[in-house]
Amino acid sequence: MSTQTPQAIRGTQDIFGPDAEAFAFVVETFERVRKLYRFRRIEMPVFEKTAVFSRSLGETTDVVSKEMYSFEDRGGESLTLRPEFTAGIARAYLTDGWQQYAPLKVATHGPLFRYERPQKGRYRQFHQIDAEVIGAGEPQADVELLVMADQLLKELGIQDGVTLQLNTLGDGASREAWRTALIDYFRAVKGDLSEDSQDRLERNPLRILDSKDPRDKVFMADAPKIDDFLSDEAQDFFAKVKSGLDAAGVKYDRSQSLVRGLDYYRHTAFEFVTDRLGAQGTVLGGGRYDGLMEALGGAATPAVGWAAGIERLAMLVGDRGEPKADVIVVVEDDTLLSRGIAQVSRLRREGFSAELLASGSLRKRFDKAVKMGASAILALAIRDGQPAARRLVEETASSSLREQLEAIAADFK
């Protein structure tokens, strides 16, 4: 019998220490910001019927054609671990009667699964924060989401070197005309394109613009531009998004080649990108997906949303150090253990973070307490036969913490 410990699955991560603190900081900041923008929290299943993703993302996308974790369950049904949030949320909107809340602003976060080649910033189980506005066709919804994303990055302290790349894919008709022109253009040079792009040419030519292969890149500059195909309506929509961003003071760069990987996008498409993460430079991406609900068999419903990789945001946040305790309670005399438990509980109930040190030599307890670097140490001892609480308070301690410690010391007899 082998006693070897099974290894973790390739592309998954056990997140610990500063990385876990940065991860939590991203999620907490997102929770705070989404409340400022009044997005309602939702929790979604981690798996769905495979059709939820294959029908909404499109069979020709990378995610559906090669990245999904799909399996048959014991009942013979094809299920898929969610590779993204939007499709499942759209499914819920249709199956749970969420139409009654339209326009519906929702936010969530959690794990997603894609069979990708693991590398820095790219995992097989990763995590996203996600925000969607469903049932809103006005450009103001796009603006609100973008301003929220911008504020989130600022509150995370990572806005430097992160830029908003903005594009429009136009409405259905504009996009279709552009698509045809792209097929004509790339067909003429088909033999010189990468294998992937030759493959995409007829089925999903927009994706060629997204290619990082140098064989494709040489043809980008002269490729047809969406601006030459935009209907008046699509131009007007895009102008309103841009003026809304200007009004809110959000800076952006126009990126004519930004297309996003998924089929369901219309009008606004955007990414927040940085060169501080090497090849995995997109931290947040999204756009308008007016075509999605119909692909899922629902009534035409305009919607817009974005998602951001928590790991990539956490990498930008970097090491914030482990959070310091407000108080370390050191029990100097073992007969005071119960009273030590009482004091540390009292502190925590009053909202102060506290830790109890009551084992090892006395010297060790203090060394450890000092090393932990709390705002205060509360030492419980017997002095002249009487219990006494000594306070060592750092200058950084808040006045409410000082008051609390004073009250404890006064009661500790």
> What residue ranges bind ligand ATP (CB under 6 A)?
84, 114, 116, 121-123, 126, 128, 261, 280, 282-285, 307-309, 311-312
Q: Is 376 left (phi over 0), alpha (psi -120 to 50) or beta?
A: beta
Of 231 and 280, nearer to ligand ATP (C-beta) is 280
Q: Which is nearer to ligand ATP, 288 or 312 (CB)?
A: 312
Q: 76 φ, ψ to 5°? A: 85, 10
Give the shortest CB-122-to-ligand ATP separation in angstroms. 4
Nearest distance from C-beta of residue 83 to ligand ATP, angstroms = 8
Strands 162-168 and 253-254: parallel
Nearer to ligand ATP, 123 or 178 (CB): 123
CA-closest candidate to residue 47, choices 10, 77, 8, 11: 77
Choose between 172 and 261: whose C-beta lies nearer to ligand ATP.
261
- Least separation in angstroms between CB 219 and ligand ATP: 20
Closest CB to ligand ATP among residues 311, 326: 311
358 burial (CB, 10 Å; 0-12 / 13-18 / 19+) is middle
The distance of closest approach from Cβ of residue 62 to ligand ATP in the complex, given in angstroms and rounded to an integer, is 7
Residue with tokens 């089929």: 263
Nearer to ligand ATP, 130 or 144 (CB): 130
Whole-angstrom distance between the N-terminal and C-terminal Cα of the chain?
Answer: 60
Nearest to 86 by CA among 314, 260, 274: 260
Inter-residue contact 219 to 186 (CB < 8 Å): yes
Per the DSSP assignment, residues forming a β-bridge with 71 are 79
Please list, in sequence order, all residues whose beta carbon lies within 8 angstroms of the beta carbon of residue 222, skipping any fewer than 6 positions away.
Answer: 185
The residues, ordered by sequence, that sit 6+ positions from 115 with a Cβ below 8 Å of its Cβ are: 66, 67, 68, 69, 124
Least distance CB 349 / ligand ATP (angstroms): 39
Q: What residue number has its CB nearest to ligand ATP? A: 309
Q: How near is the Cβ of 44 to ligand ATP at its closest, in Å? A: 15
